Amino acid sequence: MDSSRTELPVLPKEKTRFSEVDSLRAIACALVIIFHSAAVFGGSHRVELFSGAGRGGGVLGVLVFFIISGYVIPSSLRGARFVGFKRFAIRRFWRLWPPFWVSLFALYFCNASKYSGEQLAFGMTMFPGLFGISSVGSYFWTLEVELFFYVIVAVAFLIFGRLSTKLTVALFTTSLAWCWAWPNLPGAGGYWIRLSVFLALMFFGASCRTFVQKKGYWSLGRVQVSIRAILIGVATGLVSIWPVQGAYFSFLSGELYHVKAAVVILAAILGFLFWVVLTPVRISWLARVGRWTYSTYLFHGVALYLLPGRFVGWSLPAYVAGALVLSFSLGGLLYRWIEQPSDRIGKRLSGES
């Protein structure tokens, strides 16, 4: 036996998936596809409905995705400090990059005249924005934000050994305080201007996860109050600064954009709280579809390109319905044949199979 070879210790299998989280993922993904398909349809036919409410729905879906990531990702960092860090990196790589590369090349070859080889090459890193290169597929920007969050929590775990309640709350409040400066970040561009908002939402989700795991009560005379309920209430109260912030910046700019943004942010937070934390909604068939959402999100741009008769002979509802069906169908195939096998490789290499 080769004594020089080291392997990661085998861990027990992860907890069963949360069906309430998966079902909310499906809804969030559908909101994004509805907005993007309506935007493509509107390239030929002006659709006023989706210039306001539709855009808000698409943003709402993305923000819900960010909160869910914050809720589920930190629990993947467990075990001894360096071993847990290494295991997390292996799992994330095999979980994310192979399906992403398939969708990236598919989208590139569908629109080869639109994108350059440089965009494809840097896009393969999933971090093209760091090099000042626009992505193949404009919606891939959300993956960069997710990876930024993964790096922060992984480094925090490596430094502190675990992601405790105090640590996640500290990261949440720090990013929340940073939000007050986000409209005027020096040197920032595009979605990076709003990075503090996205991180605050992710760490809000992470804090909620640690709060949910809290047990016990505080006694106030004859009244016993759940510690979990108090902590979630405090966290939700903290994020209520967004309407104040929105009103403040709208007053300065003379526009209602910031108020609208605050409303969408609060809708994402409250929707997540009620669907996942306070009154978990478990719909088995929707949760099953929700497991495909990463692959569906990756491939929905390809679906919009392949959808026949994109501008001629379609009504808006028919086109949106076709986009949803085709996107989730392609996502299910990619999940079955690429994402799942790749994830199994990651589990085996990390010692979690």
- Residue-by-residue DSSP string for 70-119: HHHSGGG--SSHHHHHHHHHHHHHHHHHHHHHHHHHHHHHHTTTTS-HHH
Rounded-to-integer distance, Cα 94 and Cα 86, Å: 13
b (16+ CB within 10 A) / e for 36-58: bbbbbbbeeeeeeebeeebebbb
- The confidence score (pLDDT) of residue 166 equals 87
Q: For residue 10, is it within any domain?
A: no
Q: For residue 149, is it within any domain?
A: yes
E-assigned strand segments in the chain: 217-220, 223-226
Q: For residue 211, is it within any domain?
A: yes
Arithmetic mean of pLDDT over the chain: 80
Task: Look up residue 201 and give its amino acid.
Answer: L
Domain ranges, residue 133: 19-350
> Which pLDDT band holds residue 258 (cuts at 50, 70, 90)?
low
> Which pLDDT band holds residue 240 (cuts at 50, 70, 90)?
low
> Which pLDDT band holds residue 5 (cuts at 50, 70, 90)?
very low
Provide the angle, in degrees to the nearest 10, between the axes of the packed helices 195-212 and 49-72.
50
Q: For residue 310, is it within any domain?
A: yes
* Token pair listed for 178: 């940073």
Q: For residue 8, is it within any domain?
A: no
b (16+ CB within 10 A) / e for 102-132: bbbebbbeeeeeebeeebbebbeebbbbeee
* Residue range 266-300, pLDDT digits in tens: 888 888 988 988 788 889 999 999 999 999 999 99
Rounded-to-integer distance, Cα 290 and Cα 20, Å: 9
* Residue range 299-309, pLDDT digits in tens: 999 998 888 66
* Token pair listed for 152: 């922060």
Number of separate domains in the chain: 1
Helix or strand or coil: residue 135?
coil
- The confidence score (pLDDT) of residue 108 equals 93
Q: For residue 79, is it within any domain?
A: yes
- The confidence score (pLDDT) of residue 260 equals 73
Rounded-to-integer distance, Cα 342 and Cα 353, Å: 13
In order of 108, 136, 194, the CA distances from 132 in angstroms are 19, 13, 17
Instruction: Report CA Rg, the chain.
Output: 21
Q: For residue 334, is it within any domain?
A: yes
- Write phi, then psi, for 166 (nearest 5 degrees): -60, -40
- The confidence score (pLDDT) of residue 6 equals 47
Span of 81-85, 164-168, 203-207, 212-216 with lowest mean pLDDT: 212-216
CA-wise closest residue to 301 among 286, 323, 278, 273: 323
E-assigned strand segments in 192-350: 217-220, 223-226
Mean pLDDT, to the nearest integer, of 21-49? 80
Rounded-to-integer distance, Cα 297 and Cα 300, Å: 5
> Which pLDDT band holds residue 75 (cuts at 50, 70, 90)?
confident
* Residue range 112-153, pLDDT digits in tens: 778 888 999 999 999 888 888 888 888 998 999 999 999 999
> Which pLDDT band holds residue 47 (cuts at 50, 70, 90)?
very low
Q: For residue 115, is it within any domain?
A: yes
> Which pLDDT band holds residue 49 (cuts at 50, 70, 90)?
very low
> Which pLDDT band holds residue 251 (cuts at 50, 70, 90)?
low
CA-wise closest residue to 338 among 292, 302, 301: 292
Mean pLDDT, to the nearest integer, of 335-352? 93
The pTM assigned to this predicted structure is: 0.86
Cα 101 to the center of its chain, rounded Å: 18
> CA torsion angle for 98, 99, 101, 107 (degrees, to 10)?
170
